[in-house]
Structure 1
Amino acid sequence: MTAVTTGRIHSWDLSTGVDGPGTRFVLFVSGCPLRCLYCANPDTWHMRDGRETTVDEVMAEIEKYRAFITSAGGGVTITGGEPLLQPAFTGEVLRRCGEAGLHTALDTSGFLGARATDELLAATDLVLLDIKAFDVGTYRKLTGGSLAPTLNFATRLDRLGVPMWIRHVLVPGWTDDPSAIDALAGFVAGLEAVDRVDVLPFHKLGAAKYGALEIPFPLKDTPTPELELVERVRDQFRGQGLKVY
Protein backbone atom coordinates (compact mmCIF):
# COMPACT_ATOMS: atom_id res chain seq x y z
CA MET A 1 0.00 0.00 0.00
CA THR A 2 1.33 3.44 -0.97
CA ALA A 3 1.88 5.75 1.99
CA VAL A 4 -0.38 8.83 2.08
CA THR A 5 1.54 12.09 2.38
CA THR A 6 -0.07 14.50 4.83
CA GLY A 7 0.73 17.99 6.01
CA ARG A 8 -0.67 20.70 8.22
CA ILE A 9 -2.06 23.77 6.51
CA HIS A 10 -3.47 27.08 7.73
CA SER A 11 -5.56 28.07 4.71
CA TRP A 12 -5.51 28.80 1.00
CA ASP A 13 -6.34 31.89 -1.05
CA LEU A 14 -6.23 33.31 -4.57
CA SER A 15 -3.95 36.26 -5.35
CA THR A 16 -2.66 38.19 -8.33
CA GLY A 17 0.79 39.67 -8.86
CA VAL A 18 2.40 39.32 -5.44
CA ASP A 19 2.94 35.57 -5.01
CA GLY A 20 4.40 34.79 -8.41
CA PRO A 21 3.33 35.44 -12.00
CA GLY A 22 -0.34 35.65 -12.88
CA THR A 23 -3.22 34.61 -10.67
CA ARG A 24 -2.10 32.09 -8.06
CA PHE A 25 -3.64 29.44 -5.86
CA VAL A 26 -1.71 30.20 -2.66
CA LEU A 27 -1.41 27.45 -0.06
CA PHE A 28 -0.47 28.59 3.46
CA VAL A 29 1.20 25.80 5.42
CA SER A 30 1.52 25.87 9.20
CA GLY A 31 4.70 26.12 11.21
CA CYS A 32 7.71 28.45 11.09
CA PRO A 33 11.08 28.34 12.86
CA LEU A 34 11.59 32.11 12.70
CA ARG A 35 9.86 34.85 14.66
CA CYS A 36 10.20 37.90 12.44
CA LEU A 37 9.29 41.05 14.31
CA TYR A 38 7.17 42.26 11.41
CA CYS A 39 5.44 38.94 10.68
CA ALA A 40 1.94 39.48 9.31
CA ASN A 41 0.84 35.89 9.93
CA PRO A 42 1.57 34.94 13.55
CA ASP A 43 -1.37 32.56 13.30
CA THR A 44 0.80 30.31 11.09
CA TRP A 45 3.70 29.93 13.54
CA HIS A 46 2.73 26.61 15.10
CA MET A 47 2.11 23.39 13.18
CA ARG A 48 -0.23 22.21 15.92
CA ASP A 49 -2.65 25.00 15.03
CA GLY A 50 -2.92 23.86 11.43
CA ARG A 51 -5.41 21.48 9.87
CA GLU A 52 -4.07 18.10 8.83
CA THR A 53 -4.73 17.32 5.18
CA THR A 54 -3.50 15.03 2.45
CA VAL A 55 -1.83 15.95 -0.83
CA ASP A 56 -4.81 14.43 -2.64
CA GLU A 57 -7.16 16.80 -0.81
CA VAL A 58 -5.00 19.79 -1.69
CA MET A 59 -4.85 18.75 -5.36
CA ALA A 60 -8.63 18.32 -5.46
CA GLU A 61 -9.03 21.90 -4.20
CA ILE A 62 -6.51 23.23 -6.72
CA GLU A 63 -8.29 21.41 -9.55
CA LYS A 64 -11.43 23.46 -8.90
CA TYR A 65 -9.53 26.60 -9.94
CA ARG A 66 -7.29 25.15 -12.65
CA ALA A 67 -9.06 26.83 -15.59
CA PHE A 68 -9.15 30.18 -13.80
CA ILE A 69 -5.50 30.29 -12.75
CA THR A 70 -4.09 28.88 -15.99
CA SER A 71 -6.10 31.28 -18.18
CA ALA A 72 -4.64 34.12 -16.10
CA GLY A 73 -1.06 32.91 -16.61
CA GLY A 74 -0.74 31.77 -13.02
CA GLY A 75 -0.14 28.65 -11.01
CA VAL A 76 0.33 27.42 -7.46
CA THR A 77 2.43 29.02 -4.71
CA ILE A 78 3.24 27.33 -1.41
CA THR A 79 3.90 29.76 1.43
CA GLY A 80 3.31 29.89 5.16
CA GLY A 81 4.57 29.77 7.72
CA GLU A 82 7.62 28.08 6.26
CA PRO A 83 6.96 25.40 3.61
CA LEU A 84 10.35 23.75 4.13
CA LEU A 85 9.39 22.86 7.70
CA GLN A 86 7.26 20.21 5.97
CA PRO A 87 9.53 19.24 3.06
CA ALA A 88 7.90 15.91 2.20
CA PHE A 89 4.42 17.43 1.98
CA THR A 90 5.62 20.55 0.18
CA GLY A 91 7.70 18.54 -2.26
CA GLU A 92 4.83 16.20 -3.08
CA VAL A 93 2.42 19.08 -3.74
CA LEU A 94 4.99 20.76 -6.00
CA ARG A 95 5.64 17.52 -7.88
CA ARG A 96 1.95 16.80 -8.37
CA CYS A 97 1.30 20.34 -9.58
CA GLY A 98 4.16 20.06 -12.04
CA GLU A 99 2.80 16.78 -13.38
CA ALA A 100 -0.55 18.50 -13.80
CA GLY A 101 1.08 21.19 -15.94
CA LEU A 102 0.77 23.95 -13.35
CA HIS A 103 3.46 26.57 -12.74
CA THR A 104 4.88 26.16 -9.24
CA ALA A 105 6.40 28.66 -6.81
CA LEU A 106 7.92 28.21 -3.37
CA ASP A 107 7.88 31.18 -0.96
CA THR A 108 10.56 30.66 1.68
CA SER A 109 12.98 32.41 4.01
CA GLY A 110 15.65 29.93 2.96
CA PHE A 111 16.48 29.31 6.62
CA LEU A 112 15.62 25.63 6.15
CA GLY A 113 16.97 25.47 2.61
CA ALA A 114 19.09 22.44 3.45
CA ARG A 115 15.85 20.46 3.84
CA ALA A 116 14.90 21.07 0.21
CA THR A 117 15.99 18.06 -1.81
CA ASP A 118 17.16 18.41 -5.40
CA GLU A 119 13.97 16.57 -6.37
CA LEU A 120 11.82 19.18 -4.59
CA LEU A 121 13.68 21.99 -6.34
CA ALA A 122 13.40 20.24 -9.70
CA ALA A 123 9.62 20.47 -9.26
CA THR A 124 9.83 24.19 -8.43
CA ASP A 125 9.56 26.66 -11.31
CA LEU A 126 10.23 29.72 -9.14
CA VAL A 127 11.52 30.45 -5.65
CA LEU A 128 10.37 33.60 -3.87
CA LEU A 129 13.33 34.01 -1.54
CA ASP A 130 12.92 36.38 1.40
CA ILE A 131 16.26 37.88 2.40
CA LYS A 132 15.13 39.70 5.49
CA ALA A 133 18.36 41.56 6.32
CA PHE A 134 21.97 41.41 5.17
CA ASP A 135 23.69 42.38 8.40
CA VAL A 136 24.24 39.25 10.50
CA GLY A 137 23.42 40.95 13.81
CA THR A 138 20.33 42.67 12.46
CA TYR A 139 19.10 39.43 10.94
CA ARG A 140 19.42 37.67 14.28
CA LYS A 141 17.57 40.42 16.16
CA LEU A 142 14.89 40.72 13.50
CA THR A 143 14.14 37.02 12.98
CA GLY A 144 15.71 35.02 15.81
CA GLY A 145 17.62 33.00 13.22
CA SER A 146 20.88 32.96 11.29
CA LEU A 147 21.48 34.61 7.91
CA ALA A 148 24.01 32.08 6.57
CA PRO A 149 21.52 29.31 5.65
CA THR A 150 19.56 31.72 3.45
CA LEU A 151 22.65 32.90 1.59
CA ASN A 152 23.82 29.31 1.15
CA PHE A 153 20.41 28.40 -0.23
CA ALA A 154 20.48 31.32 -2.66
CA THR A 155 23.88 30.21 -3.92
CA ARG A 156 22.63 26.64 -4.33
CA LEU A 157 19.55 27.77 -6.25
CA ASP A 158 21.78 29.78 -8.54
CA ARG A 159 24.04 26.79 -9.13
CA LEU A 160 21.00 24.64 -9.99
CA GLY A 161 19.54 27.35 -12.23
CA VAL A 162 16.29 27.66 -10.29
CA PRO A 163 14.71 31.06 -11.08
CA MET A 164 14.37 33.41 -8.11
CA TRP A 165 12.51 36.52 -7.12
CA ILE A 166 14.30 38.12 -4.19
CA ARG A 167 12.08 39.75 -1.60
CA HIS A 168 13.21 42.31 0.95
CA VAL A 169 10.81 43.82 3.47
CA LEU A 170 11.76 47.44 4.10
CA VAL A 171 11.39 48.29 7.80
CA PRO A 172 12.46 51.79 8.87
CA GLY A 173 15.29 51.61 11.38
CA TRP A 174 15.80 47.90 10.76
CA THR A 175 16.40 47.03 7.13
CA ASP A 176 17.01 50.41 5.50
CA ASP A 177 20.72 50.97 6.26
CA PRO A 178 22.28 52.18 2.97
CA SER A 179 25.50 50.19 3.33
CA ALA A 180 23.61 47.00 4.17
CA ILE A 181 21.32 47.52 1.16
CA ASP A 182 24.34 48.05 -1.10
CA ALA A 183 25.92 44.85 0.21
CA LEU A 184 22.68 42.91 -0.31
CA ALA A 185 22.26 44.32 -3.81
CA GLY A 186 25.82 43.33 -4.65
CA PHE A 187 25.24 39.79 -3.45
CA VAL A 188 21.99 39.47 -5.38
CA ALA A 189 23.53 40.93 -8.55
CA GLY A 190 26.02 38.06 -8.49
CA LEU A 191 23.21 35.49 -8.78
CA GLU A 192 22.43 34.84 -12.44
CA ALA A 193 19.17 33.03 -11.62
CA VAL A 194 17.55 36.13 -10.07
CA ASP A 195 14.79 37.48 -12.34
CA ARG A 196 13.67 40.40 -10.17
CA VAL A 197 13.77 42.05 -6.76
CA ASP A 198 10.68 43.06 -4.79
CA VAL A 199 11.18 45.75 -2.15
CA LEU A 200 8.12 45.32 0.05
CA PRO A 201 7.22 48.23 2.38
CA PHE A 202 6.61 47.18 5.98
CA HIS A 203 2.92 47.30 6.92
CA LYS A 204 0.77 46.61 9.96
CA LEU A 205 -2.07 44.71 8.32
CA GLY A 206 -1.46 41.74 10.62
CA ALA A 207 -1.57 43.76 13.85
CA ALA A 208 -5.12 42.63 14.66
CA LYS A 209 -3.99 39.00 14.62
CA TYR A 210 -1.57 39.70 17.47
CA GLY A 211 -4.42 41.14 19.49
CA ALA A 212 -6.59 38.11 18.77
CA LEU A 213 -3.76 35.81 19.87
CA GLU A 214 -3.09 37.98 22.93
CA ILE A 215 0.58 38.45 22.09
CA PRO A 216 2.37 41.79 21.64
CA PHE A 217 3.10 43.14 18.17
CA PRO A 218 6.80 44.10 18.50
CA LEU A 219 6.77 46.79 15.81
CA LYS A 220 3.48 48.47 16.66
CA ASP A 221 5.25 51.81 17.10
CA THR A 222 7.45 51.47 14.00
CA PRO A 223 6.29 53.71 11.14
CA THR A 224 5.63 52.39 7.67
CA PRO A 225 8.27 53.63 5.21
CA GLU A 226 7.81 56.85 3.30
CA LEU A 227 7.71 56.59 -0.50
CA GLU A 228 11.01 58.49 -0.72
CA LEU A 229 12.74 55.80 1.36
CA VAL A 230 11.18 53.00 -0.67
CA GLU A 231 12.39 54.56 -3.92
CA ARG A 232 15.88 55.13 -2.52
CA VAL A 233 16.21 51.46 -1.66
CA ARG A 234 14.76 50.35 -4.99
CA ASP A 235 17.23 52.61 -6.77
CA GLN A 236 20.09 50.97 -4.87
CA PHE A 237 19.08 47.62 -6.33
CA ARG A 238 18.58 49.13 -9.77
CA GLY A 239 22.07 50.57 -9.49
CA GLN A 240 23.39 47.00 -9.55
CA GLY A 241 21.54 46.30 -12.80
CA LEU A 242 18.69 44.43 -11.12
CA LYS A 243 15.06 44.51 -12.21
CA VAL A 244 12.96 45.95 -9.40
CA TYR A 245 9.15 45.83 -9.14
Structure 2
Amino acid sequence: MIFDLQRYSTHDGPGIRTLVFLKGCSLACRWCQNPESRSPKPELLFDPRLCLPGCELCQHACPDAIQRQDDALRIDRTRLTRGDLQSLRELCPSEALTVCGQERTLDELMSDILRDRAFFERSGGGVTLSGGEPFMQPELAATLLARCKAEGLHTAVESCLHVPWQQIAPSLPHLDLVLADLKHVDEQRFFDWTRGKADRVLANLKRLAEQGIPLQIRVPLIPGFNADKDSIKAIIEAAAGLTGVEEIHFLPYHTLGMGKYALLGLPYEAPERPLDDLDLLNFAHAYAQRQGLPPVTRG
Protein backbone atom coordinates (compact mmCIF):
# COMPACT_ATOMS: atom_id res chain seq x y z
CA MET A 1 0.00 0.00 0.00
CA ILE A 2 1.64 3.22 -1.19
CA PHE A 3 0.34 6.77 -1.38
CA ASP A 4 2.86 8.37 -3.73
CA LEU A 5 5.86 7.73 -5.94
CA GLN A 6 8.07 10.76 -6.49
CA ARG A 7 10.78 10.91 -9.12
CA TYR A 8 13.84 13.21 -9.44
CA SER A 9 14.22 13.91 -5.71
CA THR A 10 17.55 15.38 -4.63
CA HIS A 11 17.11 15.74 -0.84
CA ASP A 12 16.49 12.19 0.35
CA GLY A 13 19.86 10.52 -0.06
CA PRO A 14 22.73 10.97 -2.53
CA GLY A 15 22.15 11.87 -6.16
CA ILE A 16 18.85 11.84 -8.02
CA ARG A 17 16.39 9.48 -6.38
CA THR A 18 12.99 7.90 -6.73
CA LEU A 19 10.95 8.00 -3.53
CA VAL A 20 8.38 5.33 -2.76
CA PHE A 21 5.96 6.49 -0.04
CA LEU A 22 4.53 3.56 1.92
CA LYS A 23 1.29 4.11 3.81
CA GLY A 24 0.94 3.61 7.57
CA CYS A 25 2.73 5.08 10.59
CA SER A 26 2.96 4.16 14.27
CA LEU A 27 3.25 7.80 15.42
CA ALA A 28 0.71 10.62 15.45
CA CYS A 29 2.97 13.69 15.32
CA ARG A 30 0.95 16.87 15.72
CA TRP A 31 2.91 18.59 12.95
CA CYS A 32 2.87 15.71 10.44
CA GLN A 33 3.14 17.11 6.92
CA ASN A 34 1.58 13.98 5.41
CA PRO A 35 -1.40 13.12 7.64
CA GLU A 36 -2.79 11.04 4.77
CA SER A 37 0.14 8.68 5.37
CA ARG A 38 -0.79 7.67 8.92
CA SER A 39 -3.48 5.08 8.24
CA PRO A 40 -2.37 1.85 6.55
CA LYS A 41 -5.68 1.84 4.65
CA PRO A 42 -6.97 3.96 1.72
CA GLU A 43 -8.54 7.26 2.82
CA LEU A 44 -10.94 9.74 1.29
CA LEU A 45 -9.91 13.38 0.86
CA PHE A 46 -12.53 16.04 0.16
CA ASP A 47 -11.97 19.60 -1.07
CA PRO A 48 -15.33 21.44 -0.95
CA ARG A 49 -13.94 24.25 -3.11
CA LEU A 50 -13.94 21.89 -6.09
CA CYS A 51 -17.36 20.32 -5.48
CA LEU A 52 -19.76 20.89 -8.39
CA PRO A 53 -23.21 22.24 -7.43
CA GLY A 54 -25.95 19.80 -8.35
CA CYS A 55 -23.61 16.85 -8.88
CA GLU A 56 -24.92 13.75 -7.12
CA LEU A 57 -22.59 11.03 -8.42
CA CYS A 58 -20.89 10.34 -5.08
CA GLN A 59 -24.20 10.33 -3.20
CA HIS A 60 -25.66 7.73 -5.55
CA ALA A 61 -22.48 5.62 -5.30
CA CYS A 62 -22.27 5.74 -1.47
CA PRO A 63 -25.66 6.77 -0.06
CA ASP A 64 -24.93 5.43 3.43
CA ALA A 65 -21.81 7.57 3.83
CA ILE A 66 -22.28 10.66 1.64
CA GLN A 67 -25.25 13.01 1.72
CA ARG A 68 -25.92 16.63 0.82
CA GLN A 69 -27.30 18.76 3.63
CA ASP A 70 -27.88 22.53 3.53
CA ASP A 71 -26.23 22.60 0.12
CA ALA A 72 -23.02 21.08 1.53
CA LEU A 73 -21.65 17.58 1.15
CA ARG A 74 -21.57 15.63 4.43
CA ILE A 75 -19.26 12.62 4.62
CA ASP A 76 -19.29 9.98 7.34
CA ARG A 77 -15.90 8.36 6.76
CA THR A 78 -16.64 5.68 9.35
CA ARG A 79 -19.33 4.28 7.04
CA LEU A 80 -17.17 4.13 3.92
CA THR A 81 -16.31 0.58 2.89
CA ARG A 82 -13.32 -0.53 0.84
CA GLY A 83 -15.74 -1.03 -2.04
CA ASP A 84 -17.02 2.52 -1.64
CA LEU A 85 -13.50 3.90 -1.85
CA GLN A 86 -12.81 1.87 -4.95
CA SER A 87 -15.99 3.25 -6.53
CA LEU A 88 -15.04 6.82 -5.65
CA ARG A 89 -11.47 6.55 -6.90
CA GLU A 90 -12.32 7.54 -10.49
CA LEU A 91 -15.82 8.91 -9.99
CA CYS A 92 -15.59 12.61 -9.10
CA PRO A 93 -15.40 14.74 -12.29
CA SER A 94 -13.86 17.74 -10.51
CA GLU A 95 -11.57 15.70 -8.21
CA ALA A 96 -13.15 17.29 -5.16
CA LEU A 97 -13.11 13.72 -3.85
CA THR A 98 -9.85 11.77 -4.16
CA VAL A 99 -8.69 8.51 -2.61
CA CYS A 100 -5.22 8.35 -1.05
CA GLY A 101 -3.61 4.93 -1.00
CA GLN A 102 -3.12 2.38 -3.76
CA GLU A 103 -2.07 -1.24 -3.78
CA ARG A 104 0.86 -1.90 -6.12
CA THR A 105 2.72 -5.10 -6.86
CA LEU A 106 6.49 -5.37 -6.52
CA ASP A 107 6.82 -5.80 -10.27
CA GLU A 108 4.84 -2.61 -10.90
CA LEU A 109 6.99 -0.65 -8.45
CA MET A 110 10.22 -1.99 -9.92
CA SER A 111 9.06 -1.10 -13.41
CA ASP A 112 8.51 2.52 -12.33
CA ILE A 113 11.81 2.65 -10.44
CA LEU A 114 13.93 1.24 -13.26
CA ARG A 115 12.67 3.88 -15.67
CA ASP A 116 15.11 6.21 -13.91
CA ARG A 117 18.16 3.96 -13.94
CA ALA A 118 20.08 6.33 -16.23
CA PHE A 119 19.59 9.20 -13.78
CA PHE A 120 20.71 7.02 -10.87
CA GLU A 121 23.87 5.96 -12.68
CA ARG A 122 24.83 9.49 -13.76
CA SER A 123 24.21 11.10 -10.37
CA GLY A 124 25.07 8.32 -7.91
CA GLY A 125 21.42 8.22 -6.91
CA GLY A 126 18.99 5.42 -6.22
CA VAL A 127 15.80 4.53 -4.36
CA THR A 128 14.52 5.81 -1.02
CA LEU A 129 11.58 4.29 0.84
CA SER A 130 9.60 6.87 2.79
CA GLY A 131 6.18 7.21 4.35
CA GLY A 132 4.44 7.14 6.66
CA GLU A 133 6.80 4.62 8.14
CA PRO A 134 8.26 2.12 5.62
CA PHE A 135 9.00 -0.47 8.30
CA MET A 136 5.27 -0.70 9.05
CA GLN A 137 5.24 -2.87 5.92
CA PRO A 138 8.37 -4.89 6.76
CA GLU A 139 8.00 -7.68 4.20
CA LEU A 140 7.40 -5.25 1.35
CA ALA A 141 10.26 -2.98 2.48
CA ALA A 142 12.78 -5.82 2.71
CA THR A 143 11.75 -7.44 -0.58
CA LEU A 144 11.67 -4.17 -2.51
CA LEU A 145 15.08 -3.14 -1.17
CA ALA A 146 16.50 -6.56 -2.06
CA ARG A 147 15.16 -6.23 -5.61
CA CYS A 148 16.72 -2.79 -5.91
CA LYS A 149 20.10 -4.04 -4.65
CA ALA A 150 19.95 -6.92 -7.14
CA GLU A 151 19.66 -4.25 -9.85
CA GLY A 152 22.75 -2.50 -8.49
CA LEU A 153 20.84 0.50 -7.09
CA HIS A 154 21.76 2.54 -4.03
CA THR A 155 19.09 2.09 -1.34
CA ALA A 156 17.93 4.24 1.54
CA VAL A 157 15.04 4.41 3.99
CA GLU A 158 13.54 7.44 5.75
CA SER A 159 12.25 6.22 9.10
CA CYS A 160 10.97 7.44 12.46
CA LEU A 161 12.26 4.07 13.84
CA HIS A 162 9.21 3.73 16.06
CA VAL A 163 8.62 0.05 15.28
CA PRO A 164 9.78 -3.24 16.83
CA TRP A 165 13.35 -4.15 15.87
CA GLN A 166 12.16 -7.32 14.13
CA GLN A 167 10.40 -5.14 11.55
CA ILE A 168 13.66 -3.33 10.75
CA ALA A 169 16.14 -6.22 10.78
CA PRO A 170 15.04 -7.97 7.52
CA SER A 171 15.87 -4.85 5.50
CA LEU A 172 19.38 -4.29 6.87
CA PRO A 173 21.28 -6.55 4.43
CA HIS A 174 19.83 -4.51 1.56
CA LEU A 175 20.33 -0.99 2.94
CA ASP A 176 23.06 1.53 2.10
CA LEU A 177 21.73 4.41 4.21
CA VAL A 178 19.13 5.19 6.88
CA LEU A 179 17.76 8.72 7.20
CA ALA A 180 16.52 8.52 10.78
CA ASP A 181 14.30 10.98 12.62
CA LEU A 182 15.41 11.99 16.09
CA LYS A 183 12.61 14.26 17.23
CA HIS A 184 13.30 14.41 20.98
CA VAL A 185 15.03 12.47 23.74
CA ASP A 186 12.63 13.45 26.54
CA GLU A 187 10.12 10.64 27.03
CA GLN A 188 7.19 12.74 28.23
CA ARG A 189 7.60 15.51 25.68
CA PHE A 190 7.93 12.92 22.91
CA PHE A 191 4.75 11.15 24.01
CA ASP A 192 2.75 14.36 24.38
CA TRP A 193 3.46 15.42 20.80
CA THR A 194 3.70 12.08 18.97
CA ARG A 195 1.91 9.48 21.12
CA GLY A 196 5.05 7.36 20.90
CA LYS A 197 8.01 6.23 23.00
CA ALA A 198 11.34 8.02 22.64
CA ASP A 199 13.14 5.08 24.25
CA ARG A 200 12.10 2.79 21.39
CA VAL A 201 13.56 5.20 18.83
CA LEU A 202 16.81 5.61 20.74
CA ALA A 203 17.19 1.85 21.21
CA ASN A 204 16.70 1.23 17.49
CA LEU A 205 19.17 3.99 16.62
CA LYS A 206 21.76 2.38 18.88
CA ARG A 207 21.25 -1.04 17.28
CA LEU A 208 21.52 0.43 13.78
CA ALA A 209 24.79 2.11 14.73
CA GLU A 210 26.09 -1.18 16.15
CA GLN A 211 25.23 -2.87 12.85
CA GLY A 212 27.43 -0.38 11.01
CA ILE A 213 24.59 1.10 8.95
CA PRO A 214 25.46 4.63 7.71
CA LEU A 215 23.11 7.15 9.31
CA GLN A 216 21.89 10.63 8.62
CA ILE A 217 20.00 12.07 11.58
CA ARG A 218 17.02 14.31 10.83
CA VAL A 219 15.66 16.74 13.40
CA PRO A 220 12.38 18.53 12.67
CA LEU A 221 12.47 21.77 14.68
CA ILE A 222 8.96 22.40 16.00
CA PRO A 223 8.02 25.49 18.09
CA GLY A 224 6.80 24.45 21.53
CA PHE A 225 8.18 20.94 21.13
CA ASN A 226 11.93 20.96 20.52
CA ALA A 227 12.81 24.34 18.96
CA ASP A 228 14.78 25.48 22.00
CA LYS A 229 18.46 25.30 22.91
CA ASP A 230 18.17 22.72 25.70
CA SER A 231 16.22 20.27 23.53
CA ILE A 232 18.55 20.77 20.59
CA LYS A 233 21.63 20.20 22.74
CA ALA A 234 20.20 16.96 24.13
CA ILE A 235 19.29 15.70 20.64
CA ILE A 236 22.72 16.55 19.21
CA GLU A 237 24.51 14.90 22.14
CA ALA A 238 22.46 11.72 21.65
CA ALA A 239 23.31 11.68 17.94
CA ALA A 240 26.99 12.37 18.62
CA GLY A 241 27.12 9.27 20.82
CA LEU A 242 26.31 7.03 17.86
CA THR A 243 28.85 5.62 15.42
CA GLY A 244 28.24 5.95 11.70
CA VAL A 245 26.41 9.29 11.76
CA GLU A 246 27.42 11.06 8.55
CA GLU A 247 25.39 14.27 8.99
CA ILE A 248 22.70 15.82 11.14
CA HIS A 249 19.93 17.61 9.26
CA PHE A 250 17.82 20.36 10.82
CA LEU A 251 14.36 20.73 9.29
CA PRO A 252 12.67 24.02 10.32
CA TYR A 253 8.94 23.64 10.85
CA HIS A 254 6.63 24.83 8.08
CA THR A 255 2.86 24.77 7.60
CA LEU A 256 2.65 23.50 4.02
CA GLY A 257 0.77 20.39 5.16
CA MET A 258 -1.88 22.29 7.14
CA GLY A 259 -4.50 22.19 4.38
CA LYS A 260 -4.41 18.39 4.21
CA TYR A 261 -6.03 18.09 7.63
CA ALA A 262 -9.19 19.82 6.41
CA LEU A 263 -9.27 17.50 3.39
CA LEU A 264 -9.29 14.54 5.81
CA GLY A 265 -11.80 16.13 8.17
CA LEU A 266 -9.18 16.38 10.94
CA PRO A 267 -8.24 19.25 13.30
CA TYR A 268 -4.81 20.86 13.01
CA GLU A 269 -3.12 20.91 16.42
CA ALA A 270 0.38 22.17 15.59
CA PRO A 271 1.61 25.79 15.52
CA GLU A 272 0.05 27.87 12.77
CA ARG A 273 3.23 29.80 11.96
CA PRO A 274 6.47 28.39 10.55
CA LEU A 275 9.72 28.52 12.49
CA ASP A 276 11.65 31.70 11.70
CA ASP A 277 14.60 31.77 14.08
CA LEU A 278 17.97 32.18 12.39
CA ASP A 279 19.74 32.52 15.74
CA LEU A 280 18.45 29.11 16.84
CA LEU A 281 19.55 27.49 13.58
CA ASN A 282 22.99 29.08 13.93
CA PHE A 283 23.19 27.73 17.47
CA ALA A 284 22.19 24.23 16.28
CA HIS A 285 24.86 24.30 13.56
CA ALA A 286 27.58 25.52 15.89
CA TYR A 287 26.77 23.01 18.62
CA ALA A 288 26.62 20.13 16.14
CA GLN A 289 30.02 21.08 14.77
CA ARG A 290 31.47 21.18 18.27
CA GLN A 291 30.15 17.65 18.79
CA GLY A 292 31.79 16.49 15.55
CA LEU A 293 28.60 16.25 13.48
CA PRO A 294 28.42 17.97 10.05
CA PRO A 295 25.19 20.03 10.13
CA VAL A 296 22.81 20.64 7.22
CA THR A 297 19.66 22.79 7.18
CA ARG A 298 16.88 21.69 4.86
CA GLY A 299 14.22 24.26 3.99
Normalising by the smaller structure, the TM-score range is over 0.9
Instruction: Indicate the residue corresponding to 2:22 in structure 1.
Output: 29
SS in 2 for 1:116: helix
Instruction: Indicate the residue corresponding to 1:3 in structure 2.
Output: none
CA positional deviation for 1:180: 2.5
Is contact 2:252-2:274 (8 Å) kept?
no
Matched, 1:224 2:217: no
Alignment partners' CA distance in 1, 2:103 and 2:211:
32
Matched, 1:40 2:91: no
Matched, 1:74 2:131: no
Normalised by the length of structure 2, the TM-score is 0.76
Please list every run of 5 or more consecutive structure 2 residues that lacks an aligned counterpart in the other structure: 43-100
Alignment partners' CA distance in 1, 2:20 and 2:164:
19
SS in 2 for 1:197: strand
* Candidates 120, 123, 126, aligned match of 2:177: 126
SS in 1 for 2:235: helix
Matched, 1:171 2:164: no
Instruction: Indicate the residue corresponding to 2:145 in structure 1.
Output: 94
CA positional deviation for 1:154: 0.8
Is contact 1:84-1:113 (8 Å) kept?
no
Please list every run of 5 or more consecutive structure 1 residues that lacks an aligned counterpart in the other structure: 1-7
Alignment partners' CA distance in 2, 1:36 and 1:181:
18
Matched, 1:242 2:242: no
CA positional deviation for 1:11: 1.0
Select the structure of larger CA radius of gyration.
2
Which segment is superposed worse, 133-142 or 116-125? Answer: 116-125
Is contact 1:108-1:130 (8 Å) kept?
yes
Residue type at the aligned position of 1:86: Q
Cα RMSD (Å) of the superposition?
1.4
Residue type at the aligned position of 2:126: G
CA positional deviation for 1:117: 4.8
CA positional deviation for 1:239: 1.8
Which segment is superposed worse, 133-142 or 156-165? Answer: 133-142
Is contact 1:170-1:230 (8 Å) kept?
no
Residue type at the aligned position of 2:266: I
Residue type at the aligned position of 2:5: W
Alignment partners' CA distance in 2, 1:71 and 1:184:
35
Identity of aligned residues (%): 36
CA positional deviation for 1:53: 1.4
Residue type at the aligned position of 1:152: A
SS in 2 for 1:36: coil
Is contact 1:170-1:225 (8 Å) kept?
no
Residue type at the aligned position of 2:239: V
Is contact 1:171-1:225 (8 Å) kept?
no
Alignment partners' CA distance in 2, 1:98 and 1:127:
15
CA positional deviation for 1:32: 0.8
Is contact 1:207-1:220 (8 Å) kept?
no
Alignment partners' CA distance in 2, 1:171 and 1:139:
12
Instruction: Indicate the residue corresponding to 1:57 in structure 2.
Output: 108
Is contact 1:77-1:104 (8 Å) kept?
yes
Which segment is superposed worse, 16-25 or 81-90? Answer: 16-25
Alignment partners' CA distance in 1, 2:193 and 2:7:
29
Instruction: Indicate the residue corresponding to 1:152 in structure 2.
Output: 203
Residue type at the aligned position of 2:176: D
Instruction: Indicate the residue corresponding to 2:92 in structure 1.
Output: none
Q: Which string of whole-angstrom CA distances, capped at 9 and with x for unpartnered residues, describes residues 155-201 of structure 1? A: 11111100000000011221123222222212211212110000010
SS in 2 for 1:152: helix
Residue type at the aligned position of 2:7: L
Is contact 1:127-1:165 (8 Å) kept?
yes
Is contact 1:172-1:225 (8 Å) kept?
no
Residue type at the aligned position of 1:141: D
